[in-house]
Each structure stands twice: as C-alpha cells, then as structure tokens.
Structure 1
Amino acid sequence: MQSYYKNFECKKCGDCCKGYGGTYINDYDAEQIASYIGINIKNFKENYCQVSCGKLIISQGESGYCIFWNKNLCSIHPVKPRMCKEWPFIKSLNIDPNNWNIMAEMCPGMESKK
C-alpha cells in the first residue's frame, strides 16, 4: 500500500458518487445492476447508461450525482460497480501521488499530502 493513502477512511459523504468523469462499468457490473433493479440488460444500457471514451458509464442526474445516489444512500449498494467498491484505490489514483492529492481536495476521507 502506498504511504500517501494509508490514512483513508470513508466518511460516507457521497462525494465520490458525484461523477468526476463518470462511473465506468463492465459487462458484469451492468448485468448485476440490471438484475437487481429488475430489468433486462438492453433496457439497462439504453436507459441508465451512457458511453464515454468508448466505455459504458452510469448516467448522472441533474445534480451531477450517479442516478442511483438517493439522499446519502446508494440504491444499488449490494451490487455497486467494481469501481465504486474499489474507490479510491483505483488505478488512475494509485499510479501518481498527484492524482491522489487532486481527488483528496474533494474527498474528506482521503488524506492530502499538501
């Protein structure tokens, strides 16, 4: 574990659900969410997702938050996407301490080196 993120503690504020480029999902994530909300995969992709840089992402509401974010709760928490489960320990933040520090400005659970 990198020393610059040793003190992460989730504050359950939901700021990570606000987007910052979108929540990327893979086919497994999409299948799990579709099943959980009781629709077929085609309907899920057409009505709950968008494509960004050739990859599927969960749509965001007008507030900028994930459409499954509901008053400080994730409505799909039992099947939340891998990216959400791993946050903030995702590849793009782990490869460079500067990336961690940028996101730490927005996430109260992340310790910034600044």
Structure 2
Amino acid sequence: MKLMLVAFFIAVLISSLLIIISTLFSKKTILDREKASPFECGFDPKNTSRVPFSIRFFLIAIVFLIFDIEISILLPLGLITNSIPPIFWMGTGGLFLFLVTIGLYYEWKESTLDWIT
C-alpha cells in the first residue's frame, strides 16, 4: 500500500513539474499586433460585417463535409462483417460509394470544384 502511495505521489509530482515547465517555456515574449488580433475564417472582425462571401468556398466546404460524413458511414461496415452476410454489406457500401461518386462527377461537370473561373 505504501509503495502505491509513493508511486502516486511521484507521478503527481512529475506531471505537475512538467506542466509548470511547459507553461514557463510556452510564454511568448514578443507581442505582435497581427497575432494578437482576433481572426476567424479569414474575416477581419473590426471592419464592416457586410463583406461579400465567396460561394465557391462554401460549396467546397459542403463537398468536404459530404465526404467526411461518407467516411464515418463507411467505417462501421468493417465491424459488422461477422453479423451480416458479406454480399449485403459490400453491396450496400458499393451502392453508397457509387452514389457519392456520381455526386462528385456532377460537381466536377458543373465546375463547382474549380477555384478559378
């Protein structure tokens, strides 16, 4: 019991020491006006809020979210391999990938993915 208590106190001491050292070394001594100003999504909050927003940026962000959600839908398919017949989950995953690929092809043909128009 004493050995566990000593090990616990040593672990707390070492972690506290590391936190203190990292806090001391991470302080920035040079303050830059640009780095100290708030920055959010490329907009300067001190100017007018009625700045035109790029619809291309919005569409690229939506396409990214679609493919991000696609990955989160397809990842669990590997976990259900023992409970569902492989032809079913492979067919479902293939159909889903096919539909997303058709959507990507449509976005490409509409030139939504081009930054320069």
**Alignment TM-score, normalising by the size of structure 1:** 0.24
Structure with larger Rg: 2
**Quick check: which one's strand share is greater?**
1
**Quick check: which one's helix share is greater?**
2
**Alignment TM-score, normalising by the size of structure 2:** 0.24
